[in-house]
Amino acid sequence: MGWLSWLAEQKIEEAVRRGEFDDLPGSGRPIVPEDLSGVPEELRVPYRILKNAGMLPEELQLRKECLELEDLLAVCASDGEKQTLESRLTAKKLKLRMVEEQRGWSGGAYEQYADKIRGRLEGS
């Protein structure tokens, strides 16, 4: 064991003795391993780092923003505001398609099944 590992172990043991780990969220429950089978192996570490930092990949952020704009459009009453939201949504969808094409993804499962998903969610 290197000196850095030894030092880290000493600091962890001191923190345990002081009770600094006693009231952590999830304490006493098993850690459920995250299913990353859909993420290519070489991207799993960067994916976890981004996820733990609260960051989303660009295409997921754009999809999220599209869904939010669609929800706003569904409840919008003003024609002027509706037009503004529609143009923002169109721009986001265009940007999303460009990002997907850059990555070699075309069509996308979400685009293919969006109406069916929305119908099921509204029906339940």
- Tell me: pLDDT of 110 over 80: no
Exposure string over 50-80, b if 16+ CB within 10 A, otherwise e? eeeeeeeeebeebbebbeebeeeeeebeeee
> SS3 for 33?
coil
Other residues' Cβ atoms within 10 Å of the Cβ of residue 47: 16
Q: What's the pTM? A: 0.50
Predicted confidence band at 1 (pLDDT cuts at 50, 70, 90)? low
pLDDT of 32-89, one tens digit each?
888 877 778 888 888 888 888 888 778 888 888 999 999 999 999 899 999 999 999 9
Mean pLDDT of the chain: 84
What is the distance between the alpha carbons of residues 64 and 60, in angstroms, rounded to a whole number? 6
What is the pLDDT at residue 46? 86
What is the pLDDT at residue 107? 56
What is the pLDDT at residue 23? 84
